[in-house]
Structure 1
Amino acid sequence: MTARKTEAPLASPCINVCALDDADICIGCQRSAAEITRWMRMDNAERRQVLARCVERARANGQFLSPPA
């Protein structure tokens, strides 16, 4: 019998700069209001998708965020 390794939940990208812009995107972490609200219920695959979108949003705004691992 082989034991399955359980992947730890990916951490939130929150940097405690919490303010939504006119498009409901957080100016700190670049998540949408809906993504922030759902984060705790997401699995890691969905979290990786959100993190990739955050990086895209940041780059589009001339900011830099590290790509998700």
Structure 2
Amino acid sequence: MAIQSPCVDVCRIDGQSGFCVGCLRTREEIREWKGMTDHRRHEIINDRARRAAKLPATAAPATQTSAPQTS
């Protein structure tokens, strides 16, 4: 079973960290998501805590309230 996208439809890239404040992926990771292996997707998802710590407090990631998107 493919790993679902962590997208929560809050698409705003933090200029300092380079991470989306909603899903904590980089623009490149967002673009390449559909072609990634499940192993690489797991690496990105499992790295959320480290990535969230790099965001300024005012750009805290959104909490996921619905099922992940497939983008």
- Please give the TM-score of this superposition, normalised by the length of structure 1: 0.70
Aligned length: 58
User: Could you list the per-position Cα deviations for residues 16-54 of structure 1 after superposition, in whole angstroms to 9, with x for gaps in the alignment?
Assistant: 000101032101011011111110001110100111122
Q: AA paired with 2:40?
A: E
Question: Within the alignment, does 1:26 sit opposite 2:20 as a pair?
Answer: yes
How big is the alpha-carbon RMSD for the aligned residues of Structure 1 and Structure 2?
A: 2.2
Match of 1:17 among 10, 21, 30: 10
**Structure 1: any 5+ residue segments left out of the alignment?**
1-7
Match of 2:40 among 30, 35, 46: 46
Percent identical pairs in the alignment equals 32
- Please give the TM-score of this superposition, normalised by the length of structure 2: 0.68
Q: AA paired with 2:50?
A: E
Q: AA paired with 2:41?
A: R
From the CA coordinates, give the structure whose radius of gyration is larger: 1
